[in-house]
């Protein structure tokens, strides 16, 4: 049956749409592929920020006030760390969050692959949908930055958290991607005739989606699945709703606008969902042969997440030739 929906996700924007999809699809219908380019080892823990954001969001325990981490968090560990070793306290680990890192570390040390460890964590937190890392092999995002200290390469978390995205980005690499392989479960799910839609969530194209697409064979497998591939633009009116997407695009010499997002995904996607604020760009995008849906893409509430998920799925069905009402012109 071609009822599976595969969504590529990273960061908070990806998790928001993932939650909407989780509410409108059954657990067996939804597969979320998480970016692991942000993963790193810190204080003896293997930390997977984007996987954890998905698990916490779908498990109903995310810290909606911060946008990351667990709800009802306490910080005794960090307070002690700041007193003992302040140089190591730049990455916040809440006391409840530590349970997750401990359970993952326990699984990995027992010989489980990251895919298995992630499934174990998802079950532990009551998540029904399948969450897969983009690979069981380590792929790490490195960023070439430039500031008053000069030009240098930094691991992603040092740029993103420690330096708060302040330096200008000049280049991005996904180290280890060339030797990485897809999880077997993802390869099986992408066999032709099994997938209803592939969705690129409104995540940062360069820091969240590109690391996933850098795993060899994934782009071709997505196309060979025969399913419509739809992206939701993370840019609205020339700005990012959250995070450094627009800043990075400008620093890489690209306009921070919807056509640049469309150009970045050219050759992969069949359709693009854009916000009503950018509706005037629809004819230009359609001239490039792209199907375009216009709606409100800013997800302020659970209702917004569910509505957008339904509209994205309807749009994908329209592209696939189903009788669903089209959103595009």
DSSP SS3 for 85: coil
Structure-token match 């998540």, residue found: 127
Which percentage of the chain shows pLDDT scores above 90? 93
The phi and psi torsions of 232 (rounded to 5 degrees) equal -105, 125
Quote the pLDDT of residue 324.
Answer: 38
CA–CA dist 291, 312 (Å, integer): 12
The phi and psi torsions of 181 (rounded to 5 degrees) equal -125, 155
Q: Is the pLDDT of residue 323 over 80?
A: no
Q: Is the pLDDT of residue 30 over 70?
A: yes
Q: Is the pLDDT of residue 195 over 80?
A: yes
User: What pTM value is reported for the model?
Assistant: 0.95
Q: Is the pLDDT of residue 329 over 80?
A: no
- Between 28-42, 63-77, 164-178, the lowest mean confidence (pLDDT) is in 63-77
Q: Name the pLDDT band for 227 (thresholds 50, 70, 90).
A: very high
Q: Which domains does the chain have, with CATH numbers?
A: 1-37+176-329 (3.40.50.10680), 40-133 (1.10.8.240), 140-174 (no CATH)
Q: What is the DSSP string of 30-47?
A: EEEEE--TT-EEETTEEE
Q: Is the pLDDT of residue 214 over 70?
A: yes
Q: Name the pLDDT band for 43 (thresholds 50, 70, 90).
A: very high
| 8 A C-beta contact, residue 180 and residue 135 | yes
Q: Is the pLDDT of residue 271 over 60?
A: yes
Is pLDDT larger for residue 288 or for residue 9? 9
Q: Are strands 291-295 and 130-133 parallel, antiparallel or unpaired?
A: unpaired
Packed helices 114-124 and 49-58: angle between N→C axes, nearest 10 degrees? 30
Region 70-80 average pLDDT: 96
Q: Name the pLDDT band for 326 (thresholds 50, 70, 90).
A: very low
How many other C-beta atoms are found inside a 10 Å radius of the C-beta of residue 215? 27
Region 146-171 average pLDDT: 96
3-state secondary structure 176-234: CHHHCCCCHHHHHHCCCCCEEEEEECCCCHHHHHHHHHCCCCHHHHHHHCCCCEEEECC
Q: Which residues contact 296 (CB under 8 A, 6 or more apart)?
A: 275, 276, 304, 307, 308
| 8 A C-beta contact, residue 38 and residue 10 | yes
């Amino acid at each position: 049956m071609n009822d599976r929906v595969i969504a590529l996700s990273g960061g908070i924007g990806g998790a928001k749409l993932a939650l909407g999809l989780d509410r409108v699809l059954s657990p067996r219908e939804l597969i979320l592929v998480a970016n692991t380019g942000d993963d790193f080892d810190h204080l003896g823990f293997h930390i997977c920020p984007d996987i954890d954001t998905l698990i916490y969001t779908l498990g109903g325990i995310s810290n909606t006030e911060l946008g990351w981490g667990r709800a009802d968090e306490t910080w005794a560990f960090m307070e002690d760390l700041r007193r003992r070793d302040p140089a190591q306290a730049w990455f916040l680990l809440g006391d409840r969050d530590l349970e997750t890192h401990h359970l993952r570390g326990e699984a990995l040390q027992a010989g489980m692959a990251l895919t298995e460890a992630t499934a174990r964590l998802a079950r532990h937190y009551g998540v029904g949908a399948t969450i897969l890392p983009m690979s069981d092999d380590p792929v790490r995002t490195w960023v070439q930055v430039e500031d008053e200290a000069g030009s240098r390469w930094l691991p992603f978390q040092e740029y993103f958290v420690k330096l708060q995205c302040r330096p200008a980005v000049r280049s991005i690499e996904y180290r280890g991607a060339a030797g990485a392989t897809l999880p077997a479960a993802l390869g099986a799910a992408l066999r032709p005739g099994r997938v209803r839609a592939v969705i690129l969530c409104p995540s940062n194209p360069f820091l969240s989606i590109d690391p996933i697409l850098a795993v060899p064979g994934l782009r071709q497998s997505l196309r060979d699945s025969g399913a419509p591939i739809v992206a939701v633009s993370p840019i609205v009116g020339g700005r990012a709703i959250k995070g450094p997407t627009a800043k990075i695009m400008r620093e890489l010499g690209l306009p921070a606008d919807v056509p640049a997002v469309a150009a970045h995904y050219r050759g992969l996607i069949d359709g693009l969902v854009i916000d009503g604020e950018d509706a005037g760009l629809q004819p230009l995008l359609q001239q490039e042969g792209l199907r375009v849906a216009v709606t409100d893409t800013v997800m302020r509430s659970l209702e917004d997440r569910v509505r957008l998920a339904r509209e994205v799925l309807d749009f994908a069905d329209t592209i696939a030739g189903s009788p669903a009402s089209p959103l595009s012109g």
